Amino acid sequence: MPDPHVWFDVSLWAMTVKLIADRLSDFDPEHASEFIDNANALSAKLESLHAECQSAIAEIPKSQRVLITAHDAFRYFERAYGFQVKAIQGVSTVAAASTKHMEELTNFIVEHKIKAIFVETSVPDDNVKQLIESCEKQNHKLVIGGKLFSDAMGKPGTTDGTYIGMIRRNFKTIVKALK
């Protein structure tokens, strides 16, 4: 299954803006210059957001740049921000995790002394709790580093309900837990 979560590479997401402005201009040529101006302003904002995210990551020691999440939504994030990503579940949020996969993940976490794992606002966290318990059995304390937005943003009308706010919140949560 292809990974749809392209919005987690802010530099790629920024490339969609011009495309949308071009299409809108095709439909409504009278307002083309307005669309293009707005698109340029937004692209600039997103480019600086991307840079901000890259420097935020620098606070995390290289050995801790491992993101373990409930479902496999952060491959674009992984590539863009130099992380290693491991997920309990696949790209789909409905498939269950196998016992063998859970064992492998536990061993990886214990071996690499990973401090925190992340839950997601849109995915149930039963598997996450199970993983914490199996790390405990190997005398490794794994904590929940916080909730990440993966397939949904925050409530409309709040900062977390915007793309920029949602990305910033995720980075804050990740840096705080792993630095």
Least spacing, CB of residue 111 vs Zn ion, in Å: 27
| Positions in 53-112 near Zn ion (CB under 5 A) | 73
Minimum Å distance from CB 124 to Zn ion?
A: 13
| Segment interacting with Zn ion, rule: CB under 5 A, options 8-16, 97-105, 124-132, 143-151 | 143-151
- Residues 6 or more apart whose CB falls under 8 angstroms from that of 97 comprise 88, 89, 127
Contact between 151 and Zn ion per CB under 5 A? yes
Stretch that binds Zn ion, among 26-34, 105-113, 144-152, 155-163 (CB under 5 A): 144-152
Structure tokens at 42: 């937004």
CB half-sphere exposure, 32, CA atoms < 13 A: 7
Min dist CB 150 to Zn ion, Å, is 5
CB of 97 vs Zn ion, minimal distance in Å = 15
Q: How far apart are CA 40 and CA 18, in angstroms?
A: 8
d(CA 82, CA 34): 36
**Nearest distance from residue 15's CB to Zn ion, in Å?**
20
In this complex, which beta carbon is closest to Zn ion, that of residue 70 or of residue 114?
Answer: 70
Residue 142 CB contacts under 8 Å (≥ 6 apart), including other chains: 109, 114, 115, 116, 117, 131, 132, 135, 136
Q: Which is nearer to Zn ion, 45 or 101 (CB)?
A: 101
**Contacts with Zn ion: how many residues (CB under 5 A)?**
2
The residue type of 163 is: Y
Binding site for Zn ion (CB under 5 A): 73, 151
